[in-house]
Structures are given as C-alpha cells and as structure tokens.
C-alpha cells in the first residue's frame, strides 16, 4: 500500500487516514455543576395529601385587657372583656411540570455513556429553574399560584429600593430588609442574582467589615444564596430579602422518571415527531407536581394594611411587574 498524503475529514478534524486513527469518545460528559433550586432550599416544603391543600393562617390576633378601676373593689367587679381572632386560608394548588426526552440507542452504544443517568440531574435543575422563575418573577406561573411573583408583589407593597439609592450597596440591602422588619416579619435569608456576592464583598457595614462573610456564606448574619440555575431576572432585581418561613411549597408528587422502550411523541397538531420503536430509541419522561403560596398574617400593631414578608433591591430601570 503506497503512501497517501490525502487528508480525510474525521469528526470535524483532519487526519492522514481516518482508518489508522479511529475516533473515540470519552466516557464522561463535561458540563457545568448542577445548580439547586433556591425556592426548594429556602421555603418551607411539605407533602400534599391531596391535589388541593389549605393552610390556616391567623389573619388577626387576639387582644387582652387590663382590669382597671379607681378602687380595688372596682377592679374586682370589673367584667372581663372578650376578644376575637380570624383565620385566612392559604390554598396550595398542585400543578404539573413534565417533559419527554428522546434518546437514540445508537448514540448511547457508540459513546458508552449512560445518557439517561447523566441527564436526570439536568432535568432536576430545569424543574428547579421553572419553579424559581415562577415563584420569584411570575415567569409562566400557573394561574392557581395567585401569590407567586414575589418581585411584583413586593414592589406593589412598597417594599423596594433601587440599586444606588443609598451610599453603597450595603445600605440598599439594609434598607430593603428594613421594609420587611417594619411589616412585622423577620428577614432570615437573602437571594440574589449570580455574582452579587462579589458586589457585596466591596460593601462595608458600620463596623468596617464586609456585609458578606465568605466563611459562613452569610450576609448581615443571615443566609445568602445566589440563584444560579438561570431563573433570576437581573433586569428586574438584584436581591430579594425576606422571611422565607412565610412561603410554602407543597409537593403532591416528587420528581419521577420513567423510561419507555416504545411509544411516540406528537406535536400540538397530532403529527408524530418521534417514534421510539421505529427510530430505535428510548423516551425518558420526567414529571413533578408542586404548589406554592405565600402566607401574610396580619401582625399587630405593626403594619396591618398591606404587610408583605419580602422586599427587593431593584435593578436600575426595572419594570414594576
């Protein structure tokens, strides 16, 4: 066999002879670290025994009275007064998130990579992104999630400052948190856009120390978490501060995976776009049913008009919803 200097395309590159240098595929998938859901990690999560679940929340608290009078006899004869309290039902309505993923058998055989297992954490991240985006910014939120879109509801309640309103970002963060405190709630966490911790490292408190502590991953002594799964809308907000105990996530059905060796996927018009049997592949189906609601009990004697347990540091030029 004589020498040949002809170049042969092989996987996008060029080699002297593709038969002499076979193409191989590494048995690993290079990807970014899977990011968790901020909502699922910070809000209270509870199982749902039914499709709809009601949570009683105190709408007004009971009051008490001093037994008064000019003399001890007056005090002894004074009638004890009554009080009332009211309940408000917070409704959790489970909604479904689902996706179908076709995986060709030949690709799995050629690569030697168990793509079905590799993709499961990525689908979990995607479900978390959907949940976070709906809760925080109302992005494609189910209509039954009437208390979703924390950003817009915080702005409507007046609990917001715009980045740059204070002398530095530390003042902006503290001002936002103060709105929550003034409404009678306790800020126990901050969630932010990706990279905000570097902005916070440049800000100093009154003691001259950075407001963000990288050793404890806290800001002003409270939990700090960047939303890095793609759900954060930086055109609207830089940070959300709040009492995350007031948010409830209901899990009617945890994320489940089913693999089908046969079946078809059709589009909205009924056209078959993938046939697992005919095209030698599998179909991975992922499903989850989840609900969300924010409870806003009226805390007396603090703000009883429009209390809201969250506040935002808005981006410059951000919309109101």
Can you list the domains of the chain with their CATH numbers?
38-58+86-314 (3.90.1690)
Q: Give the chain's mean pLDDT.
A: 84
Residue 123 vs residue 2, higher pLDDT: 123
pLDDT above 90 (res 69): no
In tens, the pLDDT along 80-109 reads 887 766 566 788 899 999 999 888 887 777
Mean pLDDT, to the nearest integer, of 278-299?
87
DSSP string of 92-148? EE-EEEEEEEEEEHHHHHHH---HHHHHHHHHHHHHHHHHHHHHHH-TT--TT-TT-
Residue 301 vs residue 150, higher pLDDT: 150
Q: Report the C-alpha gap between 204 and 188 in whole angstroms.
A: 20
What angle is formed at CA 222 by the lines to CA 217 and CA 223, rounded to 5 degrees? 50
In tens, the pLDDT along 256-273 reads 888 888 888 988 888 998
Which backbone phi and psi does 279 adopt, to 5 degrees? -105, 15
pLDDT above 60 (res 4): no
Max mean pLDDT among 57-66, 106-115, 213-222 falls in 213-222
Share of the chain above pLDDT 90, in %: 46
Q: Are 236 and 314 in contact (CB under 8 A)?
A: yes
Q: How confident is the model at residue 160 (pLDDT cuts 50, 70, 90)?
A: very high
């Amino acid at each position: 066999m004589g020498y040949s200097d002809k170049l042969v395309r092989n996987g996008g590159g060029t080699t002297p002879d593709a038969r002499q240098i076979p193409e191989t595929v590494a048995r690993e998938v290079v990807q970014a670290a899977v990011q968790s859901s901020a909502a699922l990690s910070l809000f209270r999560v509870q199982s749902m025994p039914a499709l709809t679940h009601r949570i009683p929340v105190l709408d007004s608290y009971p009051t008490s009275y001093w037994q008064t009078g000019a003399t001890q006899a007056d005090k002894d004869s004074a009638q004890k007064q009554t009080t009332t309290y009211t309940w408000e039902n917070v409704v959790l309505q489970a909604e479904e998130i689902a996706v179908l993923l076709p995986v060709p058998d030949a690709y799995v055989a050629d690569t030697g990579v168990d793509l079905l297992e590799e993709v499961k954490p990525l689908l979990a991240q995607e479900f978390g992104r959907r949940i976070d985006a709906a809760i925080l910014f109302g992005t494609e939120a189910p209509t039954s999630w009437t208390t979703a879109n924390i950003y817009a509801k915080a702005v409507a309640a007046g609990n917001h400052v715009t980045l740059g309103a204070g002398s530095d970002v530390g003042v902006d963060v503290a001002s936002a948190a103060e709105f929550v405190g003034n409404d009678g709630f306790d800020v126990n966490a901050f969630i932010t856009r990706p990279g905000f911790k570097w902005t916070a490292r440049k800000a100093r408190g009154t003691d001259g120390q950075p407001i963000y502590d990288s050793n404890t991953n806290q800001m002003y002594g409270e939990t700090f978490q960047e939303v890095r799964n793609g759900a954060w809308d930086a055109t609207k907000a830089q940070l959300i501060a709040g009492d995350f105990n007031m948010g409830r996530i209901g899990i009617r059905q945890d994320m489940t995976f089913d693999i089908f060796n046969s079946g078809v996927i059709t589009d909205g018009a009924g056209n078959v776009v993938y046939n697992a049997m005919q095209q030698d592949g599998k179909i991975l189906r992922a499903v989850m049913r989840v609900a969300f609601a924010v409870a806003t009990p009226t805390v007396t004697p603090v703000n009883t008009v429009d209390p809201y347990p969250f506040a935002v540091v808005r981006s410059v030029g951000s919309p109101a919803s």
